[in-house]
Amino acid sequence: MATIFNKIISGEIPSYKIAESNDYLAFLDINPLAEGHVLVIPKIEVDNLFDLDDATYTGLQMFAKIVAHGIKRSVPCIKVGVAVIGLEVPHAHIHLIPVNQVSDMNF
Ligand code: 5GP
């Protein structure tokens, strides 16, 4: 069964897209922990980030790095934090979260 993120990739479910390539997509989290909280996903449907093939995993990290630099330029923050959780949506994803203090990362 397609995950909610597959429906976001196909456009069946609307999202605020930040960046997109043939293989990856970055979009705003619907329930952000901070302004500018972005999810970065591979378009291939794999549950766990660490089960991605090496090329897709490496490409995702590079894509996330570019997006993180864009967030840093656009959102007032000390740095862009990274989190990998994956409890809610079984489609590999990276959280990019602008942070200003420790309490911003209060999951
Ligand atoms: P995790 O699986 O890492 O625990 O969390 C999944 C994340 O996906 C959550 O931060 C949640 O807010 C986000 N999310 C869940 N459904 C949607 C959706 O339909 N649209 C968007 N933009 N984000 C979603």
Which residue blocks in 1-107 are alpha helix, DSSP H?
Answer: 4-10, 54-74
* Percentage of the chain lying above the pLDDT 90 cut: 91
Q: Where are the beta strands (DSSP E) in 1-107?
A: 17-20, 24-28, 38-42, 79-83, 94-99
Q: What is the mean pLDDT of residues 32-36?
A: 95
| pLDDT given at position 101 | 77
Three-state SS at 30:
coil
Per-residue pLDDT, 4 = 97
CATH number at residue 59: 3.30.428.10
The confidence score (pLDDT) of residue 2 equals 84
Residue type, 99: V
What's the pLDDT at 93?
Answer: 98
Does residue 107 have its Cβ closer than 6 Å to ligand 1? Answer: no
Number of domains in the chain: 1
Domain range holding 22? Answer: 4-105
13 Cβ closer than 6 Å to some ligand 1 atom: yes
This model's pTM is above 0.90? yes
Give the span between the Cα atoms of 86 and 15, in whole angstroms.
Answer: 19
Does pLDDT of 107 surpass 90? Answer: no
